[in-house]
Amino acid sequence: MDTVRLFIAIELDQEILQRIGKLQARLKDDTPPGLVRWVRPEGIHLTLKFLGEVPTERVEAISQATRSACAPHTPLSLAIGTLGCFPNPRRPRVIWVGVDEPTGALARLQRDVERTLKPLGYPPEGRAFSPHLTLGRVKGGGPDALEELGAYVSRASVQVGEMRATSVSLIRSALLPGGAVYTELGVYVLPEG
């Protein structure tokens, strides 16, 4: 059975991606060398739902469900800033920058995506939606280096900027030796109110 690796996300505009690249360059300079594997800026998305390996014959149903989930939503204003790490600053494994949308519209959109995909066999996440953009993954380091990295992330002050999200994308992720290659399989416009 043929499968594709899929996720549903909001693509970032070019200005935000450039600013994220500059932020990553600053972080590389300010953190212990070789400790973090940084994500290429063009590979950064605001993921709403990760589906994983999906049989190719289910792609059209997933596309229709995503279109249905997006239909009642209007464009969103997103503020991107505030560094953090998962699971916590004492044991950082993922370095991220937060996405803030104070009206709750982003959370409602994400819940609708989850709701429309559940009947297709993709249950909601077990944890609450935490909108973020993954900047890098920690790939090792002793306790002192990890603690230093977590402390730096906790005190760093960043403000990447704001953007208007006008669509949601169904994205295929092909994992290749040189890194993941992303292909949009569908774009679903968030209609003006």
Would you say residue 14 lies in a domain? yes
The 3-state secondary structure of 55-102 reads EHHHHHHHHHHHHHHHCCCCCEEEEEEEEEEECCCCCCCEEEEEEECC
Q: For the chain, how many structural domains are there in total?
A: 1
Would you say residue 132 lies in a domain? yes
19 within 8 A of 41, measured Cβ to Cβ? no
CA-CA-CA-CA torsion for 52, 55, 56, 60, nearest 10 degrees? -80
Strand ranges of the sheet holding 76-86, from the earlier edge strand across to the other edge = 36-38, 132-138, 94-100, 76-86, 159-165
140 within 8 A of 32, measured Cβ to Cβ? no
Q: State the pLDDT at residue 25.
A: 93
Tokens of 108: 């409602």
> What whole-number distance in Å separates Cα of residue 45 and Cα of residue 134?
8
Domain boundaries, position 78: 3-172+184-188
Would you say residue 89 lies in a domain? yes
Contacts of 46 (CB under 8 A, 6+ apart): 9, 10, 12, 78, 99, 131, 132, 133, 165
Task: Say how many C-beta atoms besides its own lie within 10 A of residue 165's C-beta.
Answer: 21
> What whole-number distance in Å separates Cα of residue 160 and Cα of residue 147?
24
- List, by residue number, the catalytic residues: 45, 132
Would you say residue 113 lies in a domain? yes
Q: What is the pLDDT along the chain (193 residues), one digit of tens a residue?
A: 799 999 999 999 999 999 999 999 999 998 888 899 999 998 999 999 999 999 999 999 999 999 999 999 999 999 998 899 999 988 899 999 999 999 999 999 999 999 999 999 999 988 889 999 999 999 888 888 888 899 999 898 888 999 999 999 999 999 888 778 899 999 999 998 7
Query: One-letter amino acid identity for 83?
Result: L
Taking Cα atoms as reference points, which of 135, 130, 82 lies closest to residue 106? 130
The CATH number of the domain holding residue 23 is 3.90.1140.10
Would you say residue 179 lies in a domain? no
Q: State the pLDDT at residue 57.
A: 95
**Verdict on whether the full-model pTM lies above 0.75:** yes
Q: State the pLDDT at residue 143.
A: 82
Q: State the pLDDT at residue 109.
A: 98
Would you say residue 61 lies in a domain? yes
Would you say residue 193 lies in a domain? no
Would you say residue 121 lies in a domain? yes
